[in-house]
Amino acid sequence: MSTLTGKHPSGQAPYRPSGPARYRPSGLTWTVLRLHRTALYVWGAALLTVVAALIWLLAAGPEARAAVGGCDASDPFPLDCGTVQQTATARTYDYVLALASACVTFQMYAVAVWAGAVLTGRELESGTARLAWTQSVTPARWLATRLAVPAVLLTAGTTLAVLLGNRTRHAGREDLSGGWFTMNVFISSGPVAVAYALSGLALGALAGLVLRRALPAAAAALAAAYVLHEVLDRFRMSLWPAETATGLAALQLPRGTLVLENGAVTGDGERLSNTMACVGTDSAAALGKCMKETGLTDFWTTYQPESHFWPLQLVESGLLLAVTGLAAAAAFALLRRRHS
């Protein structure tokens, strides 16, 4: 009868919080946020600083563009555009945008260290995790919550920074923010920024579970993040097939092109790398005379055009998400094996 009426067997109604305590957040998600509120505050402050800087740059963009002046898109040597005299406004715009881009690019290291040292390593070392497992929280649910909560926050915050960064970069001059292929600009301009942050989270969590000590886990997570970051940076432009131009097209590439390799072709068909003899001649007649004298028959250039930005972004993001999935799967498998 007491079950039907909702009353305690003793005749007293069960205790229910009242007032503000009634609406206080609870549950495992709230516990993760509360336990790691210091990291949340630090990351939130850094994100707000980056967002505020990018919003300020949105207002400074038109002024910076006007200060530097225009570049002729038909110029066969677009690098000459970078020799213009920049004003203080342009230099400030360039510096602040580069700093904001670097924060987005290298947040992976901070996330990996935090995930290894604090999110998993310290809780295993101090026994906090084992205490949670004795209170109707399974190890798998414990780990899933500790990965899901920061993953959602990192995805949302990084996406906001990327969108604002792209808007800011387009408000100013392309010369001020660097080419699309430079590391900071490439990573901070697309979904690969989110993928790097998530991979740092997964690698850090795995390091914490393997070593179960805060400091060694932080060092291992940092090393793993560094290796992954450097390997992808080294082979980034090989993730999508490059294009090759010959003849005059090899000497007049469009703006924003990244030249990977160039050279000339000899009379017997041999390709000479990084040999651009006769390129600086004044006219087509002088060019032909120089090529005849040197025995060259053609020129070639292998390059990545700006149109390959998104294919490269998607391929690198896919590789990073694969690493993230493997690291997370390994973490769950290790946890299951230890506590099965």
Write out the chain's pLDDT in tens, 340 residues: 444 444 444 555 444 555 444 444 447 778 778 878 888 899 999 999 999 988 888 877 666 656 555 554 444 444 444 444 456 666 777 888 889 999 999 999 999 999 988 888 888 888 877 877 777 778 888 899 999 999 999 999 999 999 999 888 876 555 556 688 999 999 999 999 999 999 999 999 999 999 999 999 999 999 999 999 999 999 999 999 999 888 777 777 888 889 898 877 776 666 666 666 666 555 566 666 666 666 677 778 899 999 999 999 999 999 999 999 999 999 999 999 987 6
Tell me what pLDDT residue 252 has: 79
Strand partners, 301: 245, 262
Its pTM stands at 0.82
For residues 89 and 56, the answer to whether their CB atoms sit within 8 Å is no
Residues 6+ apart with CB under 8 A from 302: 242, 243, 244, 259, 260, 261, 262
Integer Cα distance of 192 and 178 in angstroms: 18
Q: SS3 string of 166-231?
A: HHHHHHCCHHHHCCCCCHHHHHCCCCHHHHHHHHHHHHHHHHHHHHCCHHHHHHHHHHHHHHHHHH
Angstrom CA distances, 70 to 74, 78, 228, 305, 312, stand at: 12, 11, 38, 21, 29
Residues in contact with 21: Cβ distance below 8 Å, sequence separation at least 6, in sequence order: none
The pLDDT, as a whole number, for residue 79 is 43
Cα separation, 200 vs 107, in Å, equals 9
CB atoms within 10 A of CB 131: 11
What is the pLDDT, as a whole number, of residue 20? 47
Structural contact between residues 316 and 232, judged by C-beta atoms closer than 8 angstroms? yes
| Cβ 158 vs Cβ 197: under 8 Å | yes
Q: What is d(CA 337, CA 165) in angstroms, rounded to the nearest whole number? A: 43
**In whole angstroms, how far apart are CA 28 and each of 11, 138, 212?**
32, 11, 21
- Residue 333 Cα distances to 147, 250, 340, angstroms: 15, 52, 10
Cβ neighbour number for residue 88 with a 10 Å cutoff: 8
Around Cβ 199, how many Cβ atoms within 10 Å? 29
Specify the DSSP element, H or E, that contains 160.
helix 139-171
Cα separation, 150 vs 253, whole angstroms: 44
315: tokens are 């391929």
Q: Which residue's entry shows tokens 């109604």?
A: 13
The Cα 253–Cα 77 span in angstroms is 8
Give pLDDT, residue 308: 94
